[in-house]
Structure 1
């Protein structure tokens, strides 16, 4: 698997599970139509139609592309970490039962982890 070169700030979040400052990320208030990819391996993770504003400071999605994101118990023992199913890089955390959307799920993702791509129109 070919992995993209990361900056030191990206490595901090993606490889070492740090968290970017809330309300500071490029994609927090970004609302273009397309797909969000893993910055480390380019795997498609989330569609823009599943993004919503949870007012939490990080991009939030109520669904992931099927099979793209794995859930693992966080080392704190309370939260559920989300990682890229393709390369294992840290994405953030997933929360359920908050009532933000009908799907009742919030994938809370660090912007620094994401890469955006406009979807090619279907032929």
Structure 2
């Protein structure tokens, strides 16, 4: 069971479902957007999704329940897929990239569609060497 840390309410660029990774938006201060990859800094994980006014609560620290986009094993570092679901960070998928962001790591095993706990540890991975 997740024990979320700091939770903050943000405005959102658009609708974001619950239990999804979101990123810091460049559009406005205190705004987030649905994460769709590993190319922007992760803000955290949505709790209930956006409301009618595009406001959203985001878990920023510690752990949070995230929907898995594929089968994951505890300890795997994760990034977002195109729908904001957690998928494994595989360096081979980013050869030649200069700036990538990891959201954190999975705390439990689970299949695609599982709502599992992720320990939030957003950080930059830079200069992936070419093959």
Structure with bigger RCO (C-alpha 8 Å, 6+ apart): 1
| Higher fraction of strand | 2
TM-score (normalised: structure 1): 0.30
| Higher fraction of helix | 1
TM-score (normalised: structure 2): 0.29
